[in-house]
């Protein structure tokens, strides 16, 4: 080969956990599942997508920005910086 390209795209979120989530699910259900997987209480975390905090009573499909921004898990009260 006459190039140093590897064909693998740069990972914008190294070390992130990736999973398929049904967009029909409520945010509270996803939060409870993530909390259970990580051994914390759901009341201790918030889910964010970009600068938008996901509200427990809504379904994931109500947040069209999830197509662009991944879901981030943050401690309650910890806001993202941008």
Predicted confidence at residue 77, as pLDDT, reads: 85
**Global pTM value:** 0.81
Q: Taking CA 74 as the corner, what is the angle to CA 78 and CA 42, rounded to the nearest 5 degrees?
A: 115
Q: How far apart are CA 35 and CA 43, in angstroms?
A: 9
Q: What is the pLDDT of residue 67?
A: 86
**Residues in the chain, pLDDT under 70:** 1-7, 82
Q: Residue ranges of the alpha helices (H) in the chain?
A: 27-38
């Amino acid at each position: 080969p006459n190039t140093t390209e590897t064909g693998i795209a740069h990972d914008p979120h190294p070390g992130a956990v990736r999973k398929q989530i049904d967009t029909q699910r409520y945010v509270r259900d996803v939060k409870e599942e993530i909390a259970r997987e990580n051994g914390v209480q759901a009341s201790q975390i918030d889910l964010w997508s970009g600068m938008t905090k996901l509200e427990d009573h809504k379904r994931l499909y109500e947040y069209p920005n999830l197509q662009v921004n991944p879901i981030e898990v943050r401690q309650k009260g910890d806001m993202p910086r941008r």
